[in-house]
Chain A
Amino acid sequence: MADVKRAIENVEPWNDPQAQPYVRIENVTKMFGEFTAVDSVSLEIYKAEVFCLLGGSGCGKSTLLRVLAGFETPTSGRVLIDGVDMAGIAPYERPTNMMFQSYALFPHMTVENNVAFGLRQEGIAAAEISKRVGDMLDLVKLGPFAKRKPHQLSGGQRQRVALARSLIKQPKLMLLDEPLGALDKKLREETQFELINIQEELGVTFIVVTHDQEEAMTLSSRIGVMNAGEIVQTGTPNDIYEYPNSRFVADFIGSVNVFEGRIVEDQPDHVRIESQEAGCPLYIDHGVGVTSGSRVWVAVRPEKIEITRDKPAQQDNCAAAVVDEIAYMGNQSIYHVLLESGKKLRITRPNQSRTSSDSITWEDQVFVAWHPSSGVVLTA
């Protein structure tokens, strides 16, 4: 799933100082009465990107999307699309199109008329409309269903009608609100690939809102993680997962073990951290640049921790533990181990063979260890 590679990923315009962003969100704030839904968000999004806004419910991601579509007026700040300030431009005049979470298909129109709706508003000739609608329906594999009404379609088909209806206008910016949220798990995985294929074929810029981290990881070129109306981190899926900038992000994307500690040595190429919780010296092979003695957190992903019966040779990043619980998941097993400090760690191991010879079991005395490059130091 993760090997859906896009040409765009190799180009990485956000790392290119020459590149001009296509969509510019500048200090956008949206208040509803006293409540701040979106809190001075600034983003730069490049052409043909798939940018995911990821966050829990009520984090302001949908409000930000509605600001882009023109359904909400920002309290302050501005939005530029292709260099044009969107202030005062009504939704029906914007070069954006939105795919709604509920799909919002017109219940009284056939699939064909739903898809043709946007073109009809532009006053395009009937012959051209029917040609373009036909092409688009073929692209989303709905040709045979053109004459059906929305209630005669399955969930997946409805989703594709909604997609086709927004795409046919060839928007400069396509906004997708939980595009796969209403589909069941299996269909969702298939549709993710279809969505990406169509996006690549048409080269449209996508902004996708989702609460599903897996969906965000697979779909996007970059992710913006939102919390309480603010963007807390922006980066590629890899950046976000491997180099989270805060405990919130580390915990929100996947699961993580966090040790609280104090810096004892901070060099440009490594840091040493003393941690009561870990019960061993922690060594990480990157610098942090904070004063000695300040409080930090070390995050280590569960799959990056080794679990062994024999004591490893290394002194750092290694501690004795007792196995507390094991959960067998089929493809992998999850171990919960207790350190001497009472801290509980979560470790995952792939089940490579059917039966493991050195099978570690409940109450076993074990050692946990990880590589200096596996941990990330967090200052917030």
Chain B
Amino acid sequence: MNNRRSTFLVSAMAFGFAFLYIPILSLIVFSFNESKLVTVWAGFSTKWYGALLQNEQILGAAWLSVRIAFMNATVAVCLGTLAGFVLARMGRFRGRLLLTGMTTAPLVMPEVITGLSLLLLFVALESMIGWPQGRGVTTITIAHITFSMAYVAVIIQSRLSSVDESVEEAAQDLGARPAKVFFIITLPIISPALVSGWLLAFTMSLDDLVIASFVSGPGSSTLPMVVFSKVRLGVSPEINALATIIVLLVASGIVAAGLVMNQAEKRRQRDVQMAVAANE
């Protein structure tokens, strides 16, 4: 019985992971295909990588996207941390329910709606106060900050709720003002969550097509917008090459981060065991 169940579970897991990874692997494999017909293998070649590096349009869009993602992640971490802190530590205040709503709704709001509503806001603001002038990098960044800060807020809030609040109270009790406590106690303790929040905000911005399409203006096409317009016309080996580069960058980053965290955790557990053993 038990055996049959574990066979079922293992095969479900194997199927699931195959489902998740075969598309990515096929992207990588066919990026080295000689033929322009992406799915028919015609020999190994790296020429599409060369073509990609020649493609000014893609490179320009990628650089723009990275700039926006960087700005977005930095601001979103600041605002999102504040929001998460307020929700986790400030207790009751007027309008708390609304703030909770505004930080969780963006997580599930369909992108077309967020994009459209922000565009209409920007247009209305421009006609009322003359800002923002036209649409472009600024409007895309603001739009991205709005939805990524919600993700950061959720991460920070859940991290803070697992941190013993009395640690912060102890710091106040020992004479540190609330602002100081926040900077020298709270922030260092939740620093891993800050890092993952930043990375999440960065990738989400780098990945967004729909919202950026609504709020971008002429001359500010982000990487996903360029990719989308190419992909709509059919498969293109250059895009495979681009995908491979992105996948490898992200994968190596995540694996490295995972290893570092794993090491730290192992060291920590060893320390704890030694402390317990020394006591006995």
Binds A, one of B128-136, B161-169, B200-208: B161-169
B275-A91 in contact (CB<8A) = no
Is B272's CB under 8 angstroms from A152's CB?
yes
Main secondary structure of the interface of B (DSSP, over half): helix
Tell me whether A118 and B174 are in contact in the complex, defined as CB-CB below 8 angstroms, given that A106-B185, A108-B188, A152-B271 are known contacts: yes
Q: A105-B167, A106-B167, A108-B188 are in contact. Are A121 and B174 (CB under 8 A)?
A: yes
Q: Contact between A108 and B189 (Cβ–Cβ < 8 Å)?
A: yes
- Which of B173, B271, B272 is within 8 Å of A91, CB to CB? B173
Interface assignment of A69: CB less than 8 Å from any CB of chain B: yes
In the complex, how many residues of chain A place their beta carbon closer than 8 angstroms to a beta carbon of chain B?
34
B250 part of interface (Cβ distance < 8 Å): no
Known interface pairs A100-B169, A105-B167, A108-B188; A151-B177 also in contact (CB < 8 Å): no
Question: Which residues on B sit within 8 Å (CB–CB) of A157?
Answer: 275, 279
Q: Does A98 contact B (CB under 8 A)?
A: yes
Asked if B174 and A97 sit within 8 Å, CB to CB, the answer is: yes
Give the B interface residue count (CB, 8 A): 25
The residue that B164 contacts in the complex, of A102, A122, A153, A166, with Cβ under 8 A, is A102
C-alpha gap A295/B180 in the complex (Å): 60
Partner of B170, one of A100, A151, A154, A156: A100
Question: What total of A-B pairs shows CB separation below 8 Å?
Answer: 81
Residues on the A chain within 8 Å of B169, using CB: 69, 71, 91, 98, 100, 104
Q: Which residues of B contact A91 (CB under 8 A)?
A: 169, 172-173
Question: How close is A354's CB to chain B, nearest CB, in angstroms?
Answer: 33
A149 within 8 A of B: yes
Q: Is there an interface contact between A97 and B173, defined as CB atoms closer than 8 Å? A: yes
1/0 contact string of B230-250 vs chain A (CB within 8 Å): 000000000000000000000
A residues apposed to B, CB below 8 Å: 69-71, 90-94, 96-98, 100-102, 104-108, 117-118, 121-122, 149, 151-157, 165-166, 169
Q: Can you list 21 residue pairs at the A/B interface with Cβ under 8 Å?
A: A69-B173, A91-B172, A92-B173, A92-B175, A93-B175, A98-B169, A101-B166, A104-B169, A106-B167, A106-B185, A108-B188, A121-B175, A121-B176, A152-B274, A155-B279, A156-B279, A157-B275, A165-B174, A166-B173, A166-B174, A169-B174
